[in-house]
Chain A
């Protein structure tokens, strides 16, 4: 069970959190201007990298606040936790085949 360092509450067990998939996806400013295919990309394509991904979590059973996490999806090591809206930290984006 992961130990996630909520930026607002400190380290807490995984079961207090919910998952939000890829971070830094912005809702298109003008959805009507997109093709169906472009809209489908926004709707359904999320980073599923085997390696380090930037993802969102929310402390559902705590402060209810969203934040970003850089995590290795193989070792499950959490490399960084940073607030919504912040730029991702500079770190090696390791991948595995």
Chain B
């Protein structure tokens, strides 16, 4: 039985020198058979399992993870949460996620430190301003909070931003989503894992999936490093390895796997209290609760599974940061890392049934998956449970690449996530 987390349980355990805390989740041996096997123990996969159990009463579920929970992009992103997407389909999906974020710590009884410190997207030229206005108008009607700040408003909201005349990229204005912000990425994986486990989901780490058993076009189960596991349905959520998984199941996906890097500075006392993103100068920054500046960079442009980025991207990103914040030039980069992002031709995800019955894929989130975690899990769980796409997920099915009904988020959202 799991203990409820609270000030009181913390105090009570302190008296026992914290010797009596139970496991946040069990580490069971895999059973021979499950109703649903979720492949991939990142945030999206764990959220899928959690909502399968909580919203659909499907508890005979295993989450199978080849490494450690949250070890992929969940543990490598810059933790930004927002929903101010341009297209209706995207805005609906990300806004659904944002609403779930707003109660997530309480729902999971695990503090994911979701902090609505506001996300600003800067405009540096007339074209940016037009695109910004378009997005703000569309957001407003989609029920996504979004407001325009002129240059003075930007300065008020983020006093350390540089508005000197003569900078290469003057800041002309910004859109602001006050409900946007950041969350503690690891805690999201752990909180969902704990929540799913409490509802009976088996979480199995260090267990690679090596193949799918398919007969008559229908999924039968998965081959794993720990033997064959039968499954009525299999839900694959393996960002960075989607093509590999699809290959094992015998079909191809329109995704490219690209290295994406991020970095943090050494910790300093609070200096920036919001998220600042810029497409034109190509960087985004916030400050973690620990005091580190968390900085995102662009992708390397070639297919790469190396989970490492190259120096030019770091240089460009930090040059951009120094342009926006000349006071940061003396700050120091402490740690830099890379992840693998699966990107789709239209910069929107795939949440879809597949050519194999009972096999579902959730992938292609590109550089923007973290913010969607609760919503992605929610709609994917629905899709898997009902063998029918959740209405919010329907536009993101694979068939859009055939029909041409793409949801092209490149213009407004591709660079800065």
Contacts and interface: CB of A to CB of B under 8 A. Distances in A.
B165 to A, nearest CB: 31
Contacts of A9: none
B403 to A, nearest CB: 7
Nearest to B246: A48
A49 B302 CA distance: 12
Interface residues of B, number: 27
A48 B301 contact: no
B312 interface: yes
A79 interface: no
A53 interface: yes
A18 B301 contact: yes
Contacts of B256: 21, 46, 48
B255 A48 contact: yes
Contact of A40 (B241, B305, B306, B401): B401
Interface of B is mostly: loop
B304 to A, nearest CB: 6
Contact of B243 (A41, A49, A74): A49
A58 B305 CA distance: 21
Interface residues of A, number: 28
Given A46-B256, A48-B256, A49-B243, A76 B306 contact: yes
Interface in A35-92: 36-37, 39-41, 43-50, 53, 55, 73-76
A40 B398 CA distance: 11
A75 B301 CA distance: 16
Contacts of B248: 97
A45 B305 contact: no
Contact of B254 (A19, A39, A44, A96): A44
Interface of A: 1-2, 14-15, 18-19, 21, 36-37, 39-41, 43-50, 53, 55, 73-76, 96-97
Interface of B: 208, 210, 241, 243-244, 247-248, 252-257, 301-306, 310-312, 345, 401-404
Given A21-B256, A44-B345, 18 more contacts: A1-B312, A14-B312, A15-B312, A18-B301, A41-B252, A43-B345, A43-B401, A45-B253, A48-B253, A49-B243, A50-B243, A50-B305, A53-B303, A55-B302, A73-B306, A76-B304, A96-B244, A97-B248
Q: Please name the 7 residue pairs, one residue from A and one from B, whose CB atoms are nearest each other, closest first.
A: A44-B254, A48-B243, A40-B402, A19-B302, A19-B301, A1-B310, A50-B305
